[in-house]
């Protein structure tokens, strides 16, 4: 029996899962997808499988994955973008499936190192803030009985204090190695990695999957790969490949040495203090004085290094122009600046001294820490401190200290390399830009100014780091095709015959009766055209829909328009209506939680709320889209990608901007109907959906034909009638 045949039998209405799977539903789309996944796992190749909400794609790929891992000695890796889905699969879906099948299979979940508690870092962690010290004490009590060490499992009473200190107690992705730490038996990451090596089915996230392509041993070898939430893989790869330097990064490298904020004493737990306290007493005479001099010189360089960083980032800060429209890329009083540059001359002008000075400090720290590491290494080779009158058990301490010094040197070397790469801006396959946060300025020494660089396209990297590593690959998501065509997604990920990695595609229909569950409206009435008029119109829509008592999610493509709408809605909704705005009232996660807790609430969001959030049932019944989600054309990466497309004879708008926006639009529509009994109204306040030459691609993304609403009053009346279960005839 083939794997696909077994899968079809198990998912049949009279099959084993129908009797034992607690959430079983007879879904033809799910069976088709599961069989397609099974065939790909068995025969090899690449499958792009688009499965909208309601198909049940998690079970559709979990079932054939479990059976494939059971029948072969090959490992299956399942990668999700969000850790929440990763946890759901491992903690809920996978155990339930194995129980229903009566199978026992070695399975594991593995996250990036920075998600695991580092016992060594926790031991030395301290803070001057009382609330942070309280969180650390609570964390130590939790860690005493913890087996997994997953920091996502720690429930801190003070979430803000925990956010600030989490990075200090997490396992360092760079520093954590056998050379730098001898606490393997205590290390939660080592334990997790060992479990992953023993597993036949391993659940990871996109970030770890991408990193493992260049970090040997990060993931065990695998033969079959399933990537869920695959529409987000390109963005994750871009994030992993992007390089950046900032004043904060310099401060973090100084903090490793023991430096605290300016004009404050050095940390007693810092690297230089530990070298003084442990290493120097083990040497006599000139050797001790020589090493003491090395340590003192590094300590004395901390202040000049800070000054060099301030001078450099002040020199590369974007010009302090102020515009009302943040899309123009220059400084905006609220949101800072983002500005592309193409070479060192455009970045720094003729004066390269700030660059040379900063590089000199980086190289000096790297050389000095390497010398100290060599001294510790020589001591360890002579038999440790025992050879100088100490205890014989000190060799492990010396090896650990040597590893930390090597890591410190590597931090400064990597910082120097990134500064050079980003300042020279010489790689034609990359795009470079500088940013300035709100309030940054030369008077502040370039605080908030950063340099960034990223590859213009990630297709080659996707093949090398992810997709070319397995014999069988399944990429699945609710949105992979734009206008029914998968070519845009495939090209972005480096798939296709021309790239040596052919693929197949499959689309599965939704089981939801969407034509009865939702209505879609396009507000064709135009504002006067000014940003304030557009904001007033959107605020009018939200206020007019408020009497329905339904939760409204309003999504924007620009922070500035969100701010304007927020200002106009405050005081208009009444005391019984909750108005939440992303960033003003908390992070995306925090405002989403509060939104779910209320009825009749309004949530204004940007970017991260366009996808990846789940508001089932009454948590979301009205979705308002302020603008079609086109990327800003002068964003550095968008602009550079457009230049490359024109070189190939393609139209950047038609061949790139439109399909990308359609995919984003499809993602946001998916926020509205999450279950078979959901009902909802979609309102698009962008008349281009009614008039633009490219409107068809967007309208095909809708499950129902949109209705044209000539004004806000008509829109409000039709929406109220839908929720009341009435059919209202057009008065015209």
Q: What are the pLDDT digits (tens) for 518-538?
A: 999 999 987 545 555 889 999
Would you state the pLDDT for residue 527?
Answer: 59
- Same structural domain, 527 and 628: yes
Give the rounded distance of the alpha carbon of 192 from its chain centre. Answer: 22
- Same structural domain, 283 and 207: no
- Same structural domain, 529 and 641: yes
- Same structural domain, 567 and 674: yes
Contact 335, 438 (CB under 8 A): yes
Q: Is 260 exposed, middle or buried (0-12, 13-18, 19+ CB in 10 A)?
A: middle
φ/ψ of residue 450, rounded to 5 = -140, 155
Domain containing 126 equals 117-170
- Least Cα distance to 271 among 174, 171, 408 occurs for 408
- Same structural domain, 604 and 680: yes
- Same structural domain, 273 and 199: no
Q: Is 14 exposed, middle or buried (0-12, 13-18, 19+ CB in 10 A)?
A: exposed
Rounded to whole angstroms, the Cα distance separating 229 from 57 reads 11
Residue 153: inside a domain, yes or no?
Answer: yes
- Least Cα distance to 142 among 109, 195, 188 occurs for 188
Neighbours of 504 (CB within 10 A): 13
Contact 247, 254 (CB under 8 A): no
- Same structural domain, 580 and 537: yes
Report the b/e string of 280-313 with b at 16+ CB within 10 A.
eebbeeeeeeebeebbeebbebbeebbebbbbbb
Residue 219: inside a domain, yes or no?
Answer: yes
Rounded to whole angstroms, the Cα distance separating 627 from 554 reads 10
Beta bridge pairs of residue 476: 49
- Least Cα distance to 338 among 245, 262, 438, 467 occurs for 438
Rounded to whole angstroms, the Cα distance separating 394 from 390 reads 7
Rounded to whole angstroms, the Cα distance separating 715 from 402 reads 69
Would you state the pLDDT for residue 380?
Answer: 60
Using alpha carbons only, give the angle 185, 190, 195 rounded to the nearest 5 degrees.
110
- Residues with pLDDT less than 50, the chain: 322-334, 385-393, 440-445, 528, 727-732
Residue 414: inside a domain, yes or no?
Answer: yes
- Same structural domain, 466 and 391: no
Residue 178: inside a domain, yes or no?
Answer: no
Rounded to whole angstroms, the Cα distance separating 620 from 614 reads 9
Residue 540: CA atoms inside 13 Å, Cβ hemisphere, count?
16
Q: Is 391 exposed, middle or buried (0-12, 13-18, 19+ CB in 10 A)?
A: exposed
Instruction: Say how many domains are in the chain.
Output: 4
C-alpha dist (Å) from residue 322 to 202, 330, 335, 438, 450: 50, 7, 11, 11, 18
Residue 406: inside a domain, yes or no?
Answer: yes
- Same structural domain, 551 and 662: yes
Instruction: Give long-range contacts, CB 8 A cutoff, 24+ apart: 15-18.
Output: 16/100, 16/101, 17/63, 17/100, 17/101
- Same structural domain, 61 and 210: yes
- Least Cα distance to 719 among 536, 538, 548, 515 occurs for 548
Contact 632, 325 (CB under 8 A): no
Element of type H or E holding 54: none
Q: Is 687 exposed, middle or buried (0-12, 13-18, 19+ CB in 10 A)?
A: middle
Rounded to whole angstroms, the Cα distance separating 474 from 33 reads 11
Rounded to whole angstroms, the Cα distance separating 46 from 55 reads 20
- Least Cα distance to 548 among 573, 580, 522 occurs for 573
Rounded to whole angstroms, the Cα distance separating 711 from 553 reads 20
C-alpha dist (Å) from residue 42 to 3, 23, 470, 474, 477: 7, 27, 12, 12, 21
Residue 417: strand, helix, or coil = helix
Residue 94: inside a domain, yes or no?
Answer: yes
**246: DSSP letter:** E
State the first-to-last Cα distance of the chain, in angstroms, to the nearest integer.
62
Using alpha carbons only, give the angle 412, 409, 132 rounded to the nearest 5 degrees.
75
- Same structural domain, 603 and 664: yes
Instruction: Sort strands 430-436 and 504-507 into parallel, antiparallel or unpaired.
Output: unpaired
The CATH code of the domain that includes 628 is 3.40.50.300
Would you state the pLDDT for residue 386?
Answer: 42
Longest CA pairwise span in the chain (Å): 100
Residue 177: inside a domain, yes or no?
Answer: no
**15: DSSP letter:** S
Instruction: Sort strands 504-507 and 45-50 into parallel, antiparallel or unpaired.
Output: parallel
Contacts of 579 (CB under 8 A, 6+ apart): 566, 569, 570, 573, 601, 602, 604
Strand order in the sheet with 504-507: 107-109, 201-205, 76-80, 224-227, 472-477, 45-50, 504-507
Would you state the pLDDT for residue 548?
Answer: 93
Instruction: Sort strands 337-341 and 430-436 into parallel, antiparallel or unpaired.
Output: antiparallel
- Least Cα distance to 642 among 626, 628, 654 occurs for 654
- Least Cα distance to 640 among 495, 329, 494, 429 occurs for 429
- Same structural domain, 601 and 626: yes
Instruction: Sort strands 449-455 and 243-246 into parallel, antiparallel or unpaired.
Output: antiparallel
φ/ψ of residue 381, rounded to 5 = -65, -30
Give the rounded distance of the alpha carbon of 533 from its chain centre. Answer: 34
> SS3 sequence, 431-468?
EEEEEECCCCCHHHCCCCEEEEEEECCCHHHHHHHCHH
Residue 183: inside a domain, yes or no?
Answer: no
Element of type H or E holding 208: helix 206-212
Strand order in the sheet with 680-684: 579-581, 602-606, 552-556, 622-625, 680-684, 518-523, 707-709
């Amino acid at each position: 029996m083939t794997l696909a045949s077994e899968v079809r039998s198990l998912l049949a209405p009279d099959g084993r899962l129908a009797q034992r799977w607690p959430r079983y539903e007879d879904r033809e789309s799910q069976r088709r997808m599961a069989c397609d996944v099974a065939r790909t796992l068995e025969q090899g190749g690449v499958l792009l499988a688009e499965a909208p909400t309601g198909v049940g794609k998690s079970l559709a790929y979990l079932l054939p994955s479990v059976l494939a891992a059971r029948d072969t000695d090959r490992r299956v890796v399942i990668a999700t973008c969000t850790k929440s889905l990763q946890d759901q699969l491992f903690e809920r879906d996978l155990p339930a499936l194995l129980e229903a099948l009566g199978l026992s299979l070695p399975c594991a979940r593995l996250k990036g190192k920075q998600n695991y508690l580092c016992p060594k870092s926790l031991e030395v962690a301290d803070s001057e803030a009382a609330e942070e010290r309280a969180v650390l004490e609570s964390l130590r009590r939790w860690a005493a009985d913890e087996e997994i060490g997953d920091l996502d499992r720690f429930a801190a009473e003070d979430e803000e204090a925990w956010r600030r200190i989490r990075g200090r107690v997490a396992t360092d992705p760079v520093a954590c190695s056998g050379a730098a730490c001898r606490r393997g038996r205590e290390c939660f990451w080592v334990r997790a990695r060992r479990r992953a090596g023993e597993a036949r089915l391993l659940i990871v996230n996109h970030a770890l999957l991408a990193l493992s392509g260049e970090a040997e041993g990060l993931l065990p070898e695998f033969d079959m790969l399933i990537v869920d939430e695959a529409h987000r893989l390109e963005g994750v790869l871009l994030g992993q490949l992007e390089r950046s330097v900032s004043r904060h990064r310099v401060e973090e490298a100084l903090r490793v040495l023991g430096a605290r904020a300016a004009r404050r004493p050095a940390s007693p737990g810092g690297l230089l203090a530990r070298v003084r306290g442990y290493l120097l007493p083990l040497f006599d005479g000139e050797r001790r004085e020589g090493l003491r001099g090395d340590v003192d010189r590094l300590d004395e360089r901390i202040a000049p290094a800070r000054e060099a960083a301030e001078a450099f980032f002040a020199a590369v800060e974007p010009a302090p122009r102020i515009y009302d429209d943040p899309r123009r890329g220059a400084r905006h009083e609220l949101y800072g600046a983002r500005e592309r540059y193409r070479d060192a001359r455009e970045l720094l002008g003729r004066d390269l001294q700030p660059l040379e000075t900063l590089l000199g400090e980086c190289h000096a720290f790297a050389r000095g820490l390497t010398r100290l590491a060599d001294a510790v290494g020589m001591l360890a080779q002579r038999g440790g401190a025992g050879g100088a009158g100490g205890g014989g058990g000190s060799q492990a301490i010396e090896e650990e200290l040597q590893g930390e010094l090597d890591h410190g040197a590597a931090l400064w070397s990597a910082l120097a390399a990134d500064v050079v790469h980003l300042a020279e801006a010489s790689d034609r396959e990359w795009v470079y830009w500088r940013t300035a946060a709100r309030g940054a300025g030369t008077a502040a020494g370039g605080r908030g100014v950063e340099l960034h660089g990223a590859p213009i396209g990630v297709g080659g990297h996707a093949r090398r780091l992810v997709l070319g590593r397995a014999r069988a690959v399944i990429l699945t998501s609710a949105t992979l095709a734009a206008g029914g065509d998968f070519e845009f997604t495939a090209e972005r990920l480096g798939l296709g015959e021309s790239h040596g990695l052919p693929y197949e595609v499959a689309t599965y229909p939704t089981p939801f009766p969407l034509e009865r569950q939702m209505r879609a409206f396009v507000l064709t009435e135009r504002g006067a055209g000014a940003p304030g008029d557009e904001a007033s119109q959107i605020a009018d829509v939200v206020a007019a829909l408020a009497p329905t008592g339904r939760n409204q999610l309003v999504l924007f493509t620009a922070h500035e328009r969100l701010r304007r709408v927020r200002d106009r809605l405050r005081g208009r909704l009444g005391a019984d209506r909750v108005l939440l705005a992303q960033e003003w009232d908390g992070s995306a996660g925090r405002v989403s939680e509060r939104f779910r807790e209320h009825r009749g609430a309004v949530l204004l969001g940007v970017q991260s709320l366009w996808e990846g959030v789940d508001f089932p049932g009454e948590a979301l019944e009205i979705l308002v889209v302020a603008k079609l989600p086109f990327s800003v054309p002068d964003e550095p990466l968008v602009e550079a990608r457009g230049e490359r497309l024109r070189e190939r004879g393609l139209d950047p708008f038609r061949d790139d901007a439109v399909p990308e926006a359609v995919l984003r639009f499809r993602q946001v529509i998916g926020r509205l109907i999450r279950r078979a009994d959901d009902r909802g109204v979609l309102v698009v306040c962008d008349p281009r959906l009614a008039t633009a030459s490219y409107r068809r691609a967007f309208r095909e993304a809708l499950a129902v034909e949109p209705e044209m609403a000539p004004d806000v009053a008509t829109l409000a009346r039709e929406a109220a009638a839908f929720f009341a279960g009435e059919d209202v005839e057009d008065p015209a």
